[in-house]
Amino acid sequence: MGWNTLDDIDLKNKRVLTRVDINVPVEDGHVTDATRIERIAPTIADIRAKGGSPVLLAHFGRPKGQYVPEMSLKPLVPALEDAFGCSVVFVERPSRDFIDAQASDAVIMVENTRFSSMEEANDPQMAQFLATLGDVFCNDAFSAAHRAHASTTGVAHLLPNCAGRLMQAELQALEAALSAPKRPVGAVVGGAKVSTKLDLLENLVKKIDVLVIGGGMANTFLAAQGADLGASLQEADLHSTARDIMAAAADAGCTVILPVDGRVAREFAAHAAHDVVALNADTSLEADQMVLDAGDASAAQIAETFGTLKTLIWNGPLGAFEIPPFDTATVAAARAAADLTNSGDLVTVAGGGDTVAALNQAGVAESFTYISTAGGAFLEWMEGKELPGVAALMQ
């Protein structure tokens, strides 16, 4: 079982219905991060080089089946034209006649698929209609592959289908990181809450050799061992879950690394006065103290651990990286991972919204082996779940 690529299907004079994810951040009508648009450009270029004409399908925001003017894809056309280096024809209500009237190498962008409630319902009628708009279906939206919608799965079953270049790159990078990684393989799992990453932790401890837990999540694990962490973010109702995960890791031979020290402050604010304190089962902070970042000894231990690995998966920051200096451990660890990647000693794969922002802030995103464009889909893939958009491409 596998999926086709753009090389496996004849695209000459074909309208190639191409699902992309251009759900990019926009402020005041301007795209603030065009990464997702830039990363689909090779797919658009390859389809045209093979004599095809891409007809792009995408969602934007969560309009819930209604026409919401602020969620139109039309304002994104200039950013698409910049990234693709050619003009883009926008169509609000597409038809095959309209598409056939366009040049044989035209790039056509269809309005937000989620303006119809039939999209998220994966209504067969919508899938049938979409299938009339193309001769071939190409899915290049890995970051929307966790959604079983008409434009991601329904239509895939109705046309000859293939993965686009970005989908291909994402799947290959993620398979290299988790399905058949060079060992030892480790993961950094950070972020605020254990509750949002339970499935991830449970799956990872079975598959990897070392798990580094950071961020607010680490507080829950330390508190579960008896630490009193004052006003720190933590989930008291998950202490027994945290202990279960530690036990599962021990059973599976996965070493769990928790912070051994933390940067502690009394207010959640940039440049708040802070101390570095040791963290362990006996730690007792004052009632108004909060752990906002891992400390320097922890960052050094994490960097040293990276040196023992061949593959590293990264999801989530080690501290409140948006307020300096509580980005210190994340930046230090990210730089250590980047150095090992640059010297060819470590394969580094990162994904998830906050993660990429944190790695960009550390200035190391370029050095990582692969940065996924996916948030939710990256997590679900790492949780070991089948992604419907990928499953629909299996031949």
- The helix (H) or strand (E) run that includes residue 197 is none
Query: Taking CB under 6 A as the rule, does residue 19 contact ligand 3PG?
Result: no
Give the shortest CB-366-to-Mg ion separation in angstroms.
Answer: 24
For residues 387 and 390, give the distance between their C-alpha atoms in angstroms, rounded to a whole number: 5
Q: Which stretch binds ligand 3PG (CB under 6 A): 65-73, 139-147, 208-216, 324-332?
A: 139-147
384 touches which of Mg ion, ligand 3PG, none (CB within 5 to 8 A by kind)?
none
Give the shortest CB-211-to-ligand 3PG separation in angstroms.
Answer: 24
Which residues in 362-381 contact ligand 3PG (CB under 6 A)? 375-376
Tell me the two tokens of residue 58. 């995408």
Query: Taking CB under 5 A as the rule, does residue 61 contact Mg ion?
Result: no
Give the shortest CB-144-to-ligand 3PG separation in angstroms.
Answer: 5
Q: Do β-strands 185-189 and 210-213 pair in parallel, antiparallel, or remain unpaired?
A: parallel
Among 18, 23, 153, 372, binds ligand 3PG (CB under 6 A): 23
For residues 29 and 227, give the distance between their C-alpha atoms in angstroms, rounded to a whole number: 47
Residue 272 contacts by C-beta under 8 Å, 6 or more apart in sequence?
Answer: 265, 266, 292, 323
Active site residues: 36, 193, 353, 376
Q: Using CB under 6 A, count the residues that bind ligand 3PG.
A: 8
Give the shortest CB-147-to-ligand 3PG separation in angstroms.
Answer: 5
**Residue 80, SS3 per DSSP:** helix
62 touches which of ligand 3PG, Mg ion, none (CB within 5 to 8 A by kind)?
ligand 3PG
| Residue 387 burial class via C-beta count within 10 angstroms: exposed 0-12, middle 13-18, buried 19 and up | buried
**Residue 112, SS3 per DSSP:** coil
Give the shortest CB-114-to-ligand 3PG separation in angstroms.
Answer: 8
Contact 42, 165 (CB under 8 A): yes
Nearest to 279 by CA among 221, 236, 325, 231: 221
Cβ nearer to ligand 3PG, comparing 164 with 375: 375
147 touches which of Mg ion, ligand 3PG, none (CB within 5 to 8 A by kind)?
ligand 3PG
- In the complex, residue closest to Mg ion by CB: 376
Tell me the two tokens of residue 280. 């362990």
Contact 316, 188 (CB under 8 A): yes
Nearest to 319 by CA among 357, 296, 293: 293
Give the shortest CB-36-to-ligand 3PG separation in angstroms.
Answer: 8
99 touches which of Mg ion, ligand 3PG, none (CB within 5 to 8 A by kind)?
none
Q: Which stretch binds ligand 3PG (CB under 6 A): 129-137, 143-151, 154-162, 284-292?
A: 143-151
For residues 155 and 124, give the distance between their C-alpha atoms in angstroms, rounded to a whole number: 8
Residue 90 contacts by C-beta under 8 Å, 6 or more apart in sequence?
Answer: 73, 74, 77, 108, 109, 111
For residues 293 and 320, give the distance between their C-alpha atoms in angstroms, rounded to a whole number: 6
Give the shortest CB-178-to-Mg ion separation in angstroms.
Answer: 21
Q: Within 10 Å of residue 5's Cβ, how many Cβ atoms? A: 16
- In the complex, residue closest to ligand 3PG by CB: 23
Query: Taking CB under 6 A as the rule, does residue 230 contact ligand 3PG?
Result: no
Which residues in 319-378 contact Mg ion (CB under 5 A)? 375-376
Cβ nearer to ligand 3PG, comparing 293 with 354: 354
Q: What track of x and - describes contact with ligand 3PG for positions 52 through 71 (by CB under 6 A)?
A: ----------x---------
Residue 299 contacts by C-beta under 8 Å, 6 or more apart in sequence?
Answer: 318, 328, 329, 332, 333
Q: Interface residues with ligand 3PG (CB under 6 A)?
A: 21, 23, 62, 143-144, 147, 375-376
Q: Interface residues with Mg ion (CB under 5 A)?
A: 375-376
